[in-house]
């Protein structure tokens, strides 16, 4: 994922979360908000309570891989904050992927996601 498509700024994280538009399931909480840019941006958060830096980076890489696999399906000019939930580390990559696309469909991406 290119840096252009990443929400990094703490103020942006807070602003998106304060809007309280979100969907959640066993693996993720996804907050979202419209933006003025011609592309989507994603911010990923894995709590320090879940594990050490190696653990957190591993799951951030997995989430980025899920986003990159289906990047062509995204383009509705929104910012997303994806929070990895406790208990999700026990799920397989395929289950994490399915949970992610279920939430994105609920958010209203306008397209049904299918496994490729």
pLDDT tens digits, 72-113: 666 678 889 999 999 898 999 999 999 998 888 888 754 444
Q: What is the pLDDT of residues 39-81, one digit of tens each?
A: 888 999 999 999 899 999 999 999 999 988 877 666 678 889 9
Distance CA 112, CA 8 (A): 28
Domains, the chain, ranges and CATH? 3-103 (3.30.230.10)
Short-list 111, 92, 106, CA closest to 27: 92
Residue 34 near residue 70, CB atoms below 8 Å: no
Tokens of 72: 């062509």
Please tell me the predicted confidence (pLDDT) of residue 74: 62
Residues whose CB is less than 8 angstroms from the CB of residue 5 and which lie 6 or more positions away in sequence, other chains included? 39, 40, 41, 42
What does the pLDDT average to over 23-27?
Answer: 91
Distance CA 50, CA 109 (A): 29
* pTM metric for this prediction: 0.83
Mean pLDDT score across all residues of the chain? 85
Instruction: Identify the three-state secondary structure at position 3.
Output: helix
């Amino acid at each position: 994922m290119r840096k252009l498509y990443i929400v990094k700024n703490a103020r942006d994280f807070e602003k998106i979360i304060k809007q309280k538009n979100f969907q959640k399931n066993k693996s993720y909480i996804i907050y979202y908000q419209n933006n003025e840019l011609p592309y989507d941006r994603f911010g990923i958060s894995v709590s320090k309570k879940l594990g050490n830096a190696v653990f957190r980076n591993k799951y951030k890489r997995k989430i980025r891989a899920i986003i990159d696999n289906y990047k062509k399906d995204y383009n509705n000019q929104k910012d997303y904050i994806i929070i990895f939930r406790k208990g999700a580390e026990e799920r397989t990559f395929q289950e994490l992927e399915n949970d992610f696309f279920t939430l994105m469909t609920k958010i209203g991406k306008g397209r049904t996601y299918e496994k490729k």
